[in-house]
Structure 1
Amino acid sequence: MSESVMIYDTTLRDGAQSEGVSFSPEDSLEVLKKLDEFGVDFVEGGWPGSAPKVDEFFKLASKIKLKNTKLTAFGSTGKFGTPAKNDQNLKNLAACPVEWCCIFGKSWDFQVTSALCILPEQNLDLIRNSIRFLKDSGKRVMFDAEHFFDGYINNKEYALSTLKAAVDGGAEWLVLCDTNGGTMMEVIADAVEDVLLTFEIPVGIHCHNDSDLAVANSLVAVERGATMVQGTINGIGERTGNANLCSIMANLELKLEYELNIKDIGQLTELSTFVSETANLAPVPGMPFVGEKAFAHKGGVHVSAIARDPRTYEHIAPECVGNKRRILISDMAGRASISEKLKDFGIDIGTEESQAIVNQIKALEAQGYQFEGADASFELLVRRFKGELESPFKVTGFRVFIDNIGDKVSSEASVKVMDSNGNEEHTASNGDGPVNALDNALRKALSSLFPVTDRIRLTDYKVRVLDGKSATAASVRVLIRSTDGKNSWTTVGVSENVIEASLYALIDSIEYAIHKNTDKEVAQ
């Protein structure tokens, strides 16, 4: 297809209504720059006058030059009984240093009489007069028809009359909103077609995800003639979220072949990650296209086929959206999985070796180990198996003390370590808990022997009880994620003692860092 579709991002306003999300003015400015660089057509910056930080953001944004994006201010129609020229909300929109405003108004008669408590005709006047005021103030205006599809189902004539009022007021876009996120696809399709047959100005779609249909409904709307999609990066938003622009943009460009103004769909995963980090949200690993699991393969049959031709189990090449393929190692893995995974590490193995590694993995997973999320431990396992790697140090003893002093609980750990030359270190360290104390003591003991340990920091720590029926005697699996400031890696340990399991994972983490640092020194 050659039709063009515009992308309207409302991450900074609708996305910020997601539980736990709050953008500072500086955060918002960085997101705006990133979206502009990506080529998004419109970015909704927020509601002027709603909070000091929103006004500060618009002030900061007015000082930068956007290359691709039109920054937009959001608001509502004026209040009943107040002339538009005296309505503070409309005056704030008119004063905002942007060209475009997007205002919402009621299009469902039930909302008009129950929420606004005014007559339907009075609501039409509000829509018309509010938009006309903004137009007369020099703004270009979009009208978000709130609850449009609910209104269309219950009183089609009135819902369409609200759009006519917006057009009469001077709106340049009609955006149909599935505000409660409960509309089915066929209703979206029929309503969009009807609106396009009734009005001559372009139509957009704004869907919420309460029925898990926001992306599908947005795509259906486009296929029926909508030429703008509103949504958020990663689908963040109030309740269950908004339409996910990551999925929408990828589907529109790669599957449906619509023209988008975005510069490079290959930067999509990076954009997704950037917004998650800026919003202080953990990336959703199972998200389509951009998630860490989107192109992860675990079953041996799948991996064997992927090795021959990725199209067997991948709908697109991961690189198209800036993602990458991941081969997961588990007791479901076969020789093909092992071979493919080891290519990432630059390790070649024969058939007999790969089968022996498979058998070893199956035995370890029977004990509770899991390597699909612990690549560093898996690589160490293979290199030890092949005789390429000997442990550079050995923990010869450790103790952990937990004291209750007054109303505070303190933790202290002592560790004895010996390197391959017989040099021994015995140190102790405090920590914010027994595992943190053990981590600090271990790295302190090893720092003089292996300076690379000074750069290692633990960034994530997970404990999984493997057999809940055994209660406090159950085995536990500990996953630890570490970083040296540039790279990150994950290791695993299993034991009936959570401290011991943690120690195993910590030892693997440090051994992995030493191994990689040694490789760099050899390469240099």
Structure 2
Amino acid sequence: MEKRKIEIMDTTLRDGEQTSGVSFSAAEKLTIAQLLLEELNVDRIEIASARVSEGEFQGVKGIMSWAKEKGYTNRVEVLTFVDGGLSIEWMKKSGAKVQNLLTKGSLNHLTHQLKKTPEQHFYEIAKTISLAKENNIETNVYLEDWSNGMRNSPEYVFQYLDFIVTQPVKRVLLPDTLGVLIPEHTFEYLSKITTKYPGIHFDFHAHNDYDLSIANVMEALKAGVHGLHVTVNGMGERAGNAPLESTVAVINDFMPEIEINVKEPSLYKVSKLVEAFTGYRIPANKPIVGDNVFTQTAGIHADGDTKNNLYFNDLLPERFGRKRQYALGKTSGKANIEKNLQELGLQLNPEDIKLVTQRIIALGDKKETVTKEDLPYIISDVLHSKIFEEKIIVESYILSHAKGMRPSTTLCLKMDGELIEEHAQGDGQFDAFMNALSKIYKSKNLELPKLIDYAVRIPPGSSSDALCETVITWTNNAKEFKTRGLDSDQTVAAIIATQKMLNVV
């Protein structure tokens, strides 16, 4: 059976940017656009709203310049408005070639927001589409509030569709603007439309207010839509949009009759980049891209994985460029610890594993987080052995921070018994410390792992002199790992975490 080809349109740079507190710079927009089209291979991207700001204009201009060189101009879209041609003029100046024209998909919006009759609205839409065609701009149309239109004024929706199919538009975009659809209604409404207008390309644009976006996406595909709108990490207004990563996984695993172009192995990489640019943290339990989704915590699960992968499903982490992990905590068993020891290249006898397991469980009861990199320290502490000897020690340091001067650090490091001293400045005290450390490592022709994330946590409600935990994520030879430090001073906690890293690598 020949598969049905579905277009994936990513609107992270337009609808996703409507996430509260998120704003991409022009350079960030260009980087994300390049990754979406070339690394992930989505079919189309929506990158901006016309006439929003000068910064938005420059961002679109930069993307369109790159897209023109690559031959991607028809894959890049801009949200426009029925505004007497102002949006068209804006597009011409920016180089954009495809408009997604925002029109009214419900009688309620048309009557109370525009205060116009359907005939007046249709006349103005037709003029805008005609002007776009004169300027070699392709048109898709959004029916804003379409889902409520189908619920409360379906006669208007079909009146609109009867009009729009007579116009030179390429796609009709049907958004669940307020996230009010349930799967049953998604299938019902879209089936009526795709059946009545079999020659028209329809896109479905889901929102996630009731956490039903993926379920609605599946029903939309069953109803015969030709395209889907998604965002990286499910970003977007209110509860966000249908997440790209979950949409792709669900289609690939449960809808074999449908074909999409998106490359699964790049999903995690792009997800983490968008997280870094926005500062909008991915929840640890978020499907596909969350930190915990490929982590087995219960000891019985780790044991089952050893015995014929009993707790695996089709969502194998390798599909998304990730790796299965085994958490260490109060529900960990011997199997979890053995899995982590294998990765570290360490071996313990059964009696010693039992002692280490008991210590990890005790730490878990105190709500302590235990990482794989903590294991050698725990082993050394529990067994009073030399199994993990610190060969690199931060012997001493001076941190200085004065008004009008750059922060600086003088560091004395002990490496295999040799004391080495270095001084450096930086943008902050810890940055200065890392710069001094880098100088020492360069003098020894050694390379430091790259710091990719830095998080500071204090217990809720704590006073300022309470202990804080600094968790640093490093990458070394394409492998990520975390180290932690605990101190009343966050910089000192970061230095403790860094010393752990130096010995881990």
Q: Answer whether TM exceeds 0.5 for this pair.
A: yes
Superposition deviation, residue 356 in structure 1: 1.9
**Could you say if the C-alpha distance between residues 346 and 49 of structure 1 is closer, same or farther in structure 2, counting changes exceeding 3 Å?**
same
Superposition pairs for residues 228-239 of structure 1, below 5 Å? 228-239=227-238
The answer to whether the 8 A contact 1:415-1:445 is kept is no
The answer to whether the 8 A contact 1:392-1:420 is kept is yes
The answer to whether the 8 A contact 1:465-1:474 is kept is no
**Could you say if the C-alpha distance between residues 13 and 461 of structure 1 is closer, same or farther in structure 2, counting changes exceeding 3 Å?**
closer
1:520 corresponds in structure 2 to none
**Could you say if the C-alpha distance between residues 153 and 25 of structure 1 is closer, same or farther in structure 2, counting changes exceeding 3 Å?**
same
Superposition deviation, residue 158 in structure 1: 0.5
The amino acid that maps onto 1:363 is: A
Superposition deviation, residue 453 in structure 1: 9.6
Is 1:480 the counterpart of 2:471? The answer is yes
The amino acid that maps onto 1:75 is: L
> TM-score, with normalisation over the residues of structure 1?
0.80
Superposition deviation, residue 228 in structure 1: 0.3
The answer to whether the 8 A contact 2:246-2:288 is kept is yes
The amino acid that maps onto 2:470 is: L
Q: Distance in 2 between matches of 1:208 and 1:250?
A: 18
Superposition pairs for residues 128-147 of structure 1, below 5 Å? 128-147=126-145
Is 1:190 the counterpart of 2:188? The answer is yes
1:506 corresponds in structure 2 to 495
1:369 corresponds in structure 2 to 368
Q: Distance in 1 between matches of 2:77 and 2:314?
A: 38
**Could you say if the C-alpha distance between residues 17 and 388 of structure 1 is closer, same or farther in structure 2, counting changes exceeding 3 Å?**
same
The answer to whether the 8 A contact 1:77-1:126 is kept is no
Is 1:378 the counterpart of 2:375? The answer is yes
The answer to whether the 8 A contact 2:390-2:503 is kept is no
The answer to whether the 8 A contact 2:392-2:499 is kept is no
2:266 corresponds in structure 1 to 267
Secondary structure of the corresponding residue to residue 126 of structure 1: helix
Superposition pairs for residues 121-160 of structure 1, below 5 Å? 121-160=119-158
1:21 corresponds in structure 2 to 22
**Could you say if the C-alpha distance between residues 378 and 118 of structure 1 is closer, same or farther in structure 2, counting changes exceeding 3 Å?**
same
Q: Which moved more, 1:173-182 or 1:65-74?
A: 65-74
Deviations 1:456-484 (A, max 9, x none): 86952423338x6xx65997461331648
1:75 corresponds in structure 2 to 79
Secondary structure of the corresponding residue to residue 465 of structure 1: coil
The answer to whether the 8 A contact 1:7-1:41 is kept is yes
2:245 corresponds in structure 1 to 246
> TM-score, with normalisation over the residues of structure 2?
0.83
Q: Distance in 1 between matches of 2:471 and 2:54?
A: 40
CA-based RMSD: 3.9
The answer to whether the 8 A contact 2:399-2:409 is kept is yes
The amino acid that maps onto 1:184 is: I
The answer to whether the 8 A contact 2:468-2:493 is kept is no
Please list every run of 5 or more consecutive structure 1 residues that lacks an aligned counterpart in the other structure. 517-524
Q: Distance in 2 between matches of 1:58 and 1:411?
A: 38
Identical-pair percentage: 20
The amino acid that maps onto 2:141 is: F
Q: Distance in 1 between matches of 2:48 and 2:442?
A: 53
Q: Distance in 2 between matches of 1:447 and 1:75?
A: 51
1:43 corresponds in structure 2 to 45
Q: Which moved more, 1:353-362 or 1:480-489?
A: 480-489
Secondary structure of the corresponding residue to residue 381 of structure 1: helix
- Larger Rg over CA atoms: 1
Q: 2:456 aligns with which of 456, 462, 466?
A: 462
Superposition deviation, residue 161 in structure 1: 1.3
2:34 corresponds in structure 1 to 33
**Could you say if the C-alpha distance between residues 117 and 311 of structure 1 is closer, same or farther in structure 2, counting changes exceeding 3 Å?**
farther
**Could you say if the C-alpha distance between residues 69 and 42 of structure 1 is closer, same or farther in structure 2, counting changes exceeding 3 Å?**
farther
1:391 corresponds in structure 2 to 390
**Could you say if the C-alpha distance between residues 446 and 478 of structure 1 is closer, same or farther in structure 2, counting changes exceeding 3 Å?**
farther
Superposition pairs for residues 439-450 of structure 1, below 5 Å? none
The amino acid that maps onto 1:506 is: I
Deviations 1:111-163 (A, max 9, x none): 11111111233223233333343335433322111100101111110012112
Please list every run of 5 or more consecutive structure 2 residues that lacks an aligned counterpart in the other structure. none
Q: Distance in 2 between matches of 1:29 and 1:206?
A: 23
Q: Distance in 2 between matches of 1:449 and 1:90?
A: 59
